[in-house]
Amino acid sequence: MKNSCCFDPIDGMMECCENGCRQVGDKDTAVAYKSAERGELEKAGYRILGNMGDQWSDLLGTHVGNRTFKVKQAGESANQ
């Protein structure tokens, strides 16, 4: 199944999931969720050498890797 991403401006941020979208609640922030997923990859024996994303939640938290790279979002100006 193809990954899908959603954003609902009324209810808040939604996460990308293999099985569709999921609501990010107060107890499971985007940073906590992404950190946990990266931790699972490391437990499975993978090493995270580089991490790249357009959201700060992609780069913050634990298990971020040796290097992180923040890329601008579509439509974001170079001055931001």
Summarize pLDDT for 20-69 with one digit per residue, the tens.
555 555 456 888 888 999 999 999 999 999 999 888 888 888 998 899 99
Q: Is the pTM of this model over 0.85?
A: no
Between CA 51 and CA 61 the distance in angstroms is 12
Query: What is the pLDDT, as a whole number, of residue 2?
Result: 45
Query: What is the pLDDT, as a whole number, of residue 73?
Result: 79
DSSP for 35-67, please give it.
HHHHHHHHHTT----EEEESSHHHHSSS---SE
Query: What is the pLDDT, as a whole number, of residue 29?
Result: 81
First to last CA, the chain: 34
